[in-house]
Structure 1
Amino acid sequence: MTQKLLLMAAGGTGGHMFPAQALAEEMLRRGWRVKLSTDARGARYTGGFPHMTEITQVSSGTFARGGLLAKALVAPKIAGGVASMAMAMRRDRPDVVIGFGGYPSIPALGAATLLGLPRMLHEQNGVLGRVNQLFATRVHHVACGVWPTELPEGANGIHVGNPVRAAVRERAAAAYIPPGDYPMSVLVMGGSQGARILSDVVPGAIAALPPEIRGHLRVSHQARDEDSARVSEFYAAQGITADVQPFFHDVPARMSEAQLVISRAGASSVADISVIGRPSILIPLAAAIRDEQTANARGLVEAGAAVLIPESALDTASLSEQIASVLSQAQGATQMAHAALDAGVPNATDRLVALVEHLAEEETE
Structure 2
Amino acid sequence: MAERSLEVAIAAGGTAGHINPALALAEELRDRGHHVRFFGQTSKLEGRLVPEAGFELVPVVVSGFDRSRPWTLATSLYRMRRAQSQIARLFSAEGAPDVAVGFGAYVEMALLNCCHRLGVPYLLHEQNSVPGLANKALAPHAARVCISVPAARDVFEREGRGAREVVLTGNPVRRSVVAASREEGRAALGVEDGETMLLVFGGSLGAAHINEGVCRLKDELLSREGLVVVHSTGADGFDETVTALALTPDEQLRWRVMPYITNMGQALAASDLVLSRAGASSIAEIAAVGAPSVLVPYPHATADHQTTNARFLVDAGAAVLVADSAIDTPEFTGALLGLLDDPARREAMREAARGLGQSRAAAALADQVEAVALS
Both proteins in one fold, TM over 0.5: yes
Q: Is the 8 A contact 2:294 2:319 kept in 1?
A: yes
Deviation readout 1:160-196 (Å, 9 max, x if unpaired) = 111111012213899999xx99522111222222323
- Per the alignment, in what secondary structure is the counterpart of residue 59 of structure 1? coil
Q: Which residue in 2 is equivalent to 1:106? A: 109
Deviation readout 1:227-275 (Å, 9 max, x if unpaired) = 2112123334373533333331211111111111111111111111111
- Per the alignment, in what secondary structure is the counterpart of residue 294 of structure 2? strand
Please report how far the alpha carbon of residue 318 of structure 1 lies from its aligned counterpart in structure 2 after TM superposition: 3.3
Q: Is the 8 A contact 2:289 2:354 kept in 1?
A: yes
Does residue 222 in structure 1 map to residue 232 in structure 2? yes
Find 2:220's aligned residue among 184, 209, 231.
209
Q: Is the 8 A contact 2:7 2:99 kept in 1?
A: yes
Please report how far the alpha carbon of residue 282 of structure 1 lies from its aligned counterpart in structure 2 after TM superposition: 0.8
Aligned-partner Cα distance in 1 for 2:271–2:96:
45
The 3 A distance-change label for structure 1 pair 168 and 181 is closer
Please report how far the alpha carbon of residue 360 of structure 1 lies from its aligned counterpart in structure 2 after TM superposition: 1.1
Q: Is the 8 A contact 1:176 1:334 kept in 2?
A: no
Please report how far the alpha carbon of residue 71 of structure 1 lies from its aligned counterpart in structure 2 after TM superposition: 4.4
Q: Which residue in 2 is equivalent to 1:124? A: 127
Does residue 166 in structure 1 map to residue 172 in structure 2? no
Does residue 264 in structure 1 map to residue 274 in structure 2? no
Deviation readout 1:31-85 (Å, 9 max, x if unpaired) = 211111122223255168531x111231111224874444442221222222222
Residue identity in the other structure for 2:212: D
The 3 A distance-change label for structure 1 pair 174 and 338 is farther
- Per the alignment, in what secondary structure is the counterpart of residue 140 of structure 2? coil
Aligned-partner Cα distance in 1 for 2:237–2:27:
34
Q: Which residue in 2 is equivalent to 1:18? A: 20
- Per the alignment, in what secondary structure is the counterpart of residue 171 of structure 1? coil
Find 2:323's aligned residue among 310, 326, 332.
310
Q: Which residue in 1 is equivalent to 2:189? A: none
Q: Is the 8 A contact 1:10 1:102 kept in 2?
A: yes
Find 1:187's aligned residue among 173, 182, 199.
199
- Per the alignment, in what secondary structure is the counterpart of residue 100 of structure 2? strand
Structure 2's unaligned 5+ residue stretches are 187-191
Please report how far the alpha carbon of residue 288 of structure 1 lies from its aligned counterpart in structure 2 after TM superposition: 1.4
Does residue 56 in structure 1 map to residue 67 in structure 2? no
Aligned-partner Cα distance in 2 for 1:157–1:16:
19
- Aligned counterparts, 1:340-359, within 5 A: 340-359=353-372
Q: Which residue in 2 is equivalent to 1:90? A: 92
Aligned-partner Cα distance in 1 for 2:145–2:292:
30
TM-score (norm 1): 0.89
- Per the alignment, in what secondary structure is the counterpart of residue 141 of structure 2? coil
- Per the alignment, in what secondary structure is the counterpart of residue 343 of structure 1? coil
- Aligned counterparts, 1:271-290, within 5 A: 271-290=284-303
Does residue 198 in structure 1 map to residue 210 in structure 2? yes
Please report how far the alpha carbon of residue 316 of structure 1 lies from its aligned counterpart in structure 2 after TM superposition: 5.9
Please report how far the alpha carbon of residue 17 of structure 1 lies from its aligned counterpart in structure 2 after TM superposition: 0.9
Please report how far the alpha carbon of residue 100 of structure 1 lies from its aligned counterpart in structure 2 after TM superposition: 0.4
4+ runs deviating over 6 angstroms: 172-177
Aligned-partner Cα distance in 1 for 2:97–2:315:
40
Aligned-partner Cα distance in 2 for 1:123–1:173:
30
Deviation readout 1:2-51 (Å, 9 max, x if unpaired) = 85211000121111111111111111112211111122223255168531
Q: Is the 8 A contact 1:176 1:337 kept in 2?
A: no
Q: Which residue in 1 is equivalent to 2:242? A: 232
The 3 A distance-change label for structure 1 pair 211 and 262 is closer
Does residue 296 in structure 1 map to residue 309 in structure 2? yes
Aligned-partner Cα distance in 2 for 1:198–1:48:
33
How many residues align? The count is 357
Moved more, 314-323 or 254-263: 314-323
Aligned-partner Cα distance in 2 for 1:196–1:228:
10
Q: Which residue in 2 is equivalent to 1:139? A: 142
* Identity in percent: 32
Structure 1's unaligned 5+ residue stretches are none
The 3 A distance-change label for structure 1 pair 348 and 105 is same
TM-score (norm 2): 0.87
Aligned-partner Cα distance in 2 for 1:341–1:173:
15
- Per the alignment, in what secondary structure is the counterpart of residue 37 of structure 1? strand
The 3 A distance-change label for structure 1 pair 176 and 10 is closer
Root mean square deviation of aligned Cα: 2.7
Aligned-partner Cα distance in 1 for 2:33–2:283:
30
Residue identity in the other structure for 1:249: T
Deviation readout 1:300-322 (Å, 9 max, x if unpaired) = 11122111112233326432221
Q: Is the 8 A contact 1:202 1:316 kept in 2?
A: no
Aligned-partner Cα distance in 1 for 2:11–2:166:
19
Aligned-partner Cα distance in 2 for 1:167–1:55:
21
Aligned-partner Cα distance in 2 for 1:312–1:244:
24
Residue identity in the other structure for 2:134: V
Aligned-partner Cα distance in 2 for 1:159–1:230:
41
- Per the alignment, in what secondary structure is the counterpart of residue 331 of structure 1? helix
- Per the alignment, in what secondary structure is the counterpart of residue 303 of structure 2? coil
Aligned-partner Cα distance in 2 for 1:242–1:211:
8
Does residue 361 in structure 1 map to residue 361 in structure 2? no
